[in-house]
Amino acid sequence: MLILIFTRSTPISSLKNIPEELLPLIPGYLENRSKELLELRSLVSSNDLEGIKKIGHKLAGNAGSYGLPELGAIGAKLEESVIMDNINSLLNEYESLLKNYQEDISKL
C-alpha cells in the first residue's frame, strides 16, 4: 500500500514558485479542487474506479500548470491506483494538502 505523508510541516515550496500573474487564479482553482474532492469521495463510495482514474488524470495534468506539483503527484497516484484502501488514503492526503494550500494562499 502506498502511503504519502503530508503534514503541516511539509514545505509547500510550490506556493513560492507560482508566477505572480497566476496568484489571483489559485483560490478559484483550489475551490474547484475542493468540489472535485467531494466528487472523488462519491466515486469511491460507488466503487467507480474509472471515474476516479479520469479525475486523477485531469488533476495530474492541470496542477502543474498552476505551480502545484504536490497535487499533481496525488492525481497521478489516483490515476494509477486500483486498490480502494489506497484511494481513501490518497483522498485524505489530497484533502489535507488542499487545506494547507488554502491556508497559505490566504496569507499572501
What one-character DSSP code corresponds to residue 91?
H
Angle between the 26-45 and 49-62 helix axes, to the nearest 10 degrees?
Answer: 160
Q: Which residues 6+ apart lie within 8 Å of 35 measured at CB?
A: none
pLDDT of residue 20: 84
CA distance 31 to 83: 27
Please name the amino acid found at residue 17.
Answer: N
> Quick one: pLDDT at residue 13?
52
Structure confidence at residue 51 as a pLDDT band (50, 70, 90)? very high
The pLDDT value given to residue 3: 37
User: SS3 string of 18-44?
Assistant: CCHHHHHHHHHHHHHHHHHHHHHHHHH
Q: What is the pLDDT of residues 30-45, one digit of tens each?
A: 999 999 999 999 998 9
The domain segmentation of the chain, as residue ranges, is 24-106
At residue 106, the pLDDT reads 86
The CATH code of the domain at 24-106 is: 1.20.120.160
Mean pLDDT of all residues in 24-35: 94
| Mean local confidence (pLDDT), 71-81 | 89
